[in-house]
Structure 1
Amino acid sequence: MVEKHIKSLLYDHDCVIIPDFGGLITRYVSAKINPVKHTFAPPSKKIAFNEKLVLNDGLLISTIAYHNNISKEAAQQLVSDFVHQAKSRLHKENRFELHEIGVFKYSAEQKLEFEYVEGDNLLDASFGLPELVARPVRVEEPAVLRTLIKERQQERALEKQPLRKRLKRAYNVAAGLALAGLAGSALYFLSLQADYNLSSLNPISLFNSNYTLSNANLVKRYAAGYVPLTEEERSATYDAILPEKASAVVAEEKQPELAEQTDWIADADSVALAFASEEPLNQEVKEEVVAPVKEVKPVEPVLTIKEKNGRSYIIIGGYSTTENAEIIRQNARKAGYDAKTVLPGRYSKLYRVSVADFATPEEAKAAINNYKKSFGETIWVLNY
């Protein structure tokens, strides 16, 4: 009967202490892949044993008393008988099996050892998840690899061609290169001739043959009886063509334009002086000094009890990690309770979560029945 209650408590708690025997601690194990069997195992819990956790936290005894509707003294007697039976078997047979949990043995140094037996998955999040078996996936060749293989096959096929085809292909390539070289050398030698126009090679020039022929007979030299004019003869000829009256009229027309320009310049100077005479306005700008406002920080509530203070706490559970204890504490605070975390003491490794604290143990025991409706019969009072 005690074994059944121990296993049920391992589903919901991280640590279950068997008084005067030791504590069973659960540990989270992530999902696993077996590359040999090609199986996928869901996340689970593994159980370890610590023989130093012998202090009675009241969890196992309270659970047995509540489910069997007996007193705590009777439940404590059942646990004591179970521990006595386990120790007697270990001394006689050097073996004690906790059904569907594990096997206890003594080592050569007379130390109690525990071997976990994999049975039911104790993790609630993996409820109903079986172990899956998957077939191996065959890796297909990617598209790039297939393309490279195809190109190599084509190259090998070309290498296997007869010698005559390969010589013919090499001959065609050599002939093309020779023709390209001859054409390039011909153009180079034609460009070296000064009296030869390379633009005549343009086929479009054939449509404009009449125009090119008419421009072919350009006069490149002076006539036989031509004598160039001197500088004095050229200036005398220009004076005879341009009379003096025309130059005078042009000068008179330019004068009024110059007068208008001078008037505009004078007006611009007067405007500049007017702007310069104006005095800038000197205005003093006074900055307003704002007094800093002091922020008043609210007083944060005490959520973690680190040292003994003489108060009595109503404990709803003990947890081996701070993460699990913090989750339970936050849920309790959301429900409206003044939940706090009590750090492990000198002989304990559990993080305990309380929902209320009182000045004396009598007040805590008188109020514990009010919290059993919400948290069950497994809660207890801790004098800290």
Structure 2
Amino acid sequence: MVEKHIKSLLYNHDCVIIPDFGGLIARYVPARISPVKHTLSPPSKMIAFNEKLVLNDGLLISTIAHQDQVSKADAQQRVAEFVHQAKASLQQEKRFELKEIGVFRYNAERRLVFEYQEADNMLEDSFGLPELSARPVKQEEPAVLRTLIKERQQELVEERQPLRRRIKRAYNVAAGLALAGLSVSALYFLSLQDEYNLSSLNPITVFTSGYTAPAAAQPERYADGYVPFTEEERVAYYADMLPASDAPEVAEDKTYEPEGSASITSGFEDTGFDTEDVAEEAIAATEDAAEEAPAHIIYTKDGRSYIISGGYARLENAEMGRAQLMEQGHEEVHILLPQPGSRLFRVALASFPSKEEAQASLTAYREKYGETLWVLNN
């Protein structure tokens, strides 16, 4: 309550003395401009503190006695209690906050320092004046000038498009002429070579260049007395042109059988291999693995209902959860491996033959271990 009276007095007075503590002094601050925030602040009051003003001038005590309708002795008692509370807070917390006015602290020299926190403008002449933000004014061009500039930009775009098309067309023509010139030059240089003919451009000659053609004289069709080849001569002529084959001859009637094939077949027949025996062995191996696993881990569906306390993504975390439950005094705790469509290892507090028995016991378990328990049918 004393803080409220101190603030109301600062609106109408320039100095408010708190007996045995110090005096708050209000001074006028003119309007100011912040070049960083670009704001304009109205005139106001700034509060300072002087710890040497400790003599009671009666202003604060008289105001409390008049407004609260108490005696001056009671008002003085309230002020004394406020001062005692402020000094105790400074000794213990090293600070004391005067709400909506400022904060008192001790500096390195153990002198009382006051930091003013401007919340409300305490100057009556500036009542209701807000802080103004100065925004830069952007000069806009006239509407007619903006229209002319937009039309000129559109004309420039339209002028650039035909120029680009002409450049592209000229580039295509130049590229075509360059390719044609290179092709003609290549043919010309090829014609200058010795023994040049058009058949050298045939790609099949690349594969047949590994052997030399036979030196047999070819017949001249247009010579006098030309006689065509017989069938035997034609076959002999083409046989000389074809390269000799180094492939070994294979008898037509001989059937190739790899060595040891009979022994491989007989081996399978003697063993009496059967898929049913393999399936039975796999099932037996799974059952042996389940028997060797810890008794608290349930691998397969057993038709029972379990009260689940939580699910874990890893088996190690599920073991830790089980250990915590056993430390709390619960003896029977199981871990159910993930079922099809799930990846969680579930920790079960209890198991029951049917779902009805598990639901009936769920309320009692929830009272002891929490409301997050639920029933899982395995």
Q: Which has the higher contact order (CA 8 A, sep 6+)?
A: 1
TM-score after normalising by structure 2: 0.36
TM-score after normalising by structure 1: 0.36
